[in-house]
Structure 1
């Protein structure tokens, strides 16, 4: 028998035993379907985004990308599931500001938002807009803060519930502006917005996608958007930072994460393919139709951002007395 095949066989066995990356594992990725876990019920923005991106990612990977909804415990069930999954790149998470910043600050969720995940790609972010009912006595952020200072606790705002993004946006505003706002929680954004439209509550931090049609119809007025820059959806509306509170930023951001310690070549393959998917003009257009601003940060940059967001919301929760 020729000695070359025996030598090659020995090398392959050693590669399998010791994980030599040039001959096995990462370079073969992917050889089967990839699952994207969405920690929300079907039909919401996160779900739509995961399915839209997943379809295009599948074309580049040459394997199906399956979206699996694992809702519950305020995103903790699905997020923890991915944190505990095999670090092989076949299980990803559609993570959000709630799963990776707000919920870990609010309660014991069973995972660390930075240590237990590998950032793969930032997808985009949707800023909130501070809307007031059409007959509210203030037209701008400075007028609102002046009214709130004159009567502490008399100006109320609606939210989707305690510990939600739009609740904490109000807590952050109160802290930054030195004012006291009255929080009125609802069971979801839809009933909260309905009561603002009906005139029962004067204010709400709502996703710009939802409120923009009512602003255009004159049923609501937009006082400020909460992103770092002005929104393409409402270019004439100033940011909160422009309105006298520099550094203020709240956005509902979305990103794809893998479990911690996923092999570097696998992370790079996913990140590179997602960068191509997200940079395509049709995907940029789709994101903007969802009200999202594309986000081109690298995985390393986004990891730093997640860390800063986690620290920010830890402080907001602590300052507001919202204990774990």
Structure 2
């Protein structure tokens, strides 16, 4: 009887294992065959912005790699929250991805009310670039370097007005920090992305802006705006004659930022790895690296998701301290 019971017991185990394998095989095959439909790259910014430019560059590479259409969709506004909401609602299978800068996690939640948990609801899969900000001015502003700008600001009864691409992010806090360090009153005007802010800068409606190098560089080269100083640890390709704030005695403004492709954390690990590998492989190509340099950016680091999240948590603490030091009030 014992042998008979053992026989049925082992038969049951075998059936259970067989069912498990049968259930696993289609799932594994689905991941091997992924992607099975067009990919959406949701951009946390407007068309023509830095994230948009990177997303379109990435779309070229992923489309060639996977032989599937890769569609870029812009969800500007709310400091990236609209794009994140899109990812949360549609991105479980990995066919919707997000292209944003790390500041949307380390900066935006400190300055705005958000309906997501920055360190739980998003996962950075691969860095695509590193870059910084540049302080740019209307071409008719009577200051062409930082000393002249500071002196001009002190001569104005109400100080200086500056624009940013989003309230509460580095384009905003950098201006407030500069005012604090240089003892110049700074008044902020927030926009939904760089393009509309740059239009007002060129039109003379605002005199200054801390902007991403990618969006300002073509306008600087065309003589439509002028560069005052670069907020990055080193001088930037394409602006080699523009000094850094660190060189000019303001090391607190020597800040780097990075952009990445992101997914929901619950996307299958094998799919996450596919996206990461394809992205890093594409951005290693010399031709792609040259295109990044033309946009005033450097290739992103081949760091892990865990390393990127650790960096963001550290940046979050630093940004919280900065906002407190400049008495930031949400707008």
Does the alignment reach a TM-score above 0.5?
A: yes
Matching of residues 50-61 of structure 1 within 5 Å: 50-61=55-66
The CA distance in 1 between the partners of 2:267 and 2:276, in whole Å, is 12
The yes-or-no answer on 1:277 pairing with 2:286 is: no
Question: Match for residue 92 of structure 1?
Answer: 97
Bigger Rg, which one: 2
Q: CA deviation at 1:256?
A: 0.5
The yes-or-no answer on 1:117 pairing with 2:105 is: no
Seen in structure 2, the aligned counterparts of structure 1 residues 223 and 29 have a Cα distance that, compared at 3 Å, is same
Q: Any stretches of 5+ residues in structure 1 without a counterpart?
A: 1-5
User: What is the CA RMSD across the aligned residues, in angstroms?
Assistant: 3.6
Seen in structure 2, the aligned counterparts of structure 1 residues 12 and 111 have a Cα distance that, compared at 3 Å, is farther
- From 261, 267, 282, the counterpart of 1:256: 261
Seen in structure 2, the aligned counterparts of structure 1 residues 63 and 242 have a Cα distance that, compared at 3 Å, is same
Seen in structure 2, the aligned counterparts of structure 1 residues 258 and 185 have a Cα distance that, compared at 3 Å, is closer
Question: Match for residue 28 of structure 1?
Answer: 32
> What secondary structure is seen at the aligned counterpart in 1 of 2:249?
coil
Residues 165, 252 of structure 1: 8 Å contact kept:
no
> What secondary structure is seen at the aligned counterpart in 1 of 2:118?
coil
> What secondary structure is seen at the aligned counterpart in 1 of 2:253?
coil
Residues 51, 259 of structure 2: 8 Å contact kept:
yes
- TM-score, with normalisation over the residues of structure 1? 0.79
- From 100, 108, 113, the counterpart of 1:108: 113
The yes-or-no answer on 1:39 pairing with 2:44 is: yes
- From 15, 20, 25, the counterpart of 1:14: 20
The CA distance in 1 between the partners of 2:205 and 2:90, in whole Å, is 46
The one-character-per-residue Cα deviations of 1:75-132 (angstroms, maximum 9, x if unpaired) are 2122123235554433311122453334322222211222212211111144322123
Q: How many residues align?
A: 317
Q: CA deviation at 1:244?
A: 0.9
- From 289, 299, 308, the counterpart of 1:302: 308
The CA distance in 2 between the partners of 1:35 and 1:200, in whole Å, is 36
Seen in structure 2, the aligned counterparts of structure 1 residues 32 and 170 have a Cα distance that, compared at 3 Å, is same
Residues 40, 95 of structure 2: 8 Å contact kept:
yes
- From 240, 245, 249, the counterpart of 1:244: 249
Seen in structure 2, the aligned counterparts of structure 1 residues 84 and 282 have a Cα distance that, compared at 3 Å, is same
- From 294, 309, 313, the counterpart of 2:319: 313
The CA distance in 2 between the partners of 1:309 and 1:20, in whole Å, is 42
> What secondary structure is seen at the aligned counterpart in 2 of 1:24?
helix
Seen in structure 2, the aligned counterparts of structure 1 residues 190 and 54 have a Cα distance that, compared at 3 Å, is closer
The CA distance in 1 between the partners of 2:113 and 2:68, in whole Å, is 36
Seen in structure 2, the aligned counterparts of structure 1 residues 210 and 81 have a Cα distance that, compared at 3 Å, is closer
The one-character-per-residue Cα deviations of 1:226-281 (angstroms, maximum 9, x if unpaired) are 12221101112111122112242456642101111434333222212211101112
> What secondary structure is seen at the aligned counterpart in 1 of 2:162?
strand
Seen in structure 2, the aligned counterparts of structure 1 residues 28 and 221 have a Cα distance that, compared at 3 Å, is closer
The CA distance in 2 between the partners of 1:225 and 1:165, in whole Å, is 13
The CA distance in 1 between the partners of 2:116 and 2:47, in whole Å, is 23
Mean alpha-carbon deviation: is it higher for 298-307 or for 195-204?
A: 195-204
- From 170, 174, 177, the counterpart of 1:169: 174
Residues 142, 244 of structure 1: 8 Å contact kept:
no
The yes-or-no answer on 1:155 pairing with 2:166 is: no
Seen in structure 2, the aligned counterparts of structure 1 residues 89 and 158 have a Cα distance that, compared at 3 Å, is closer
Q: CA deviation at 1:185?
A: 4.7
Residues 26, 263 of structure 1: 8 Å contact kept:
no
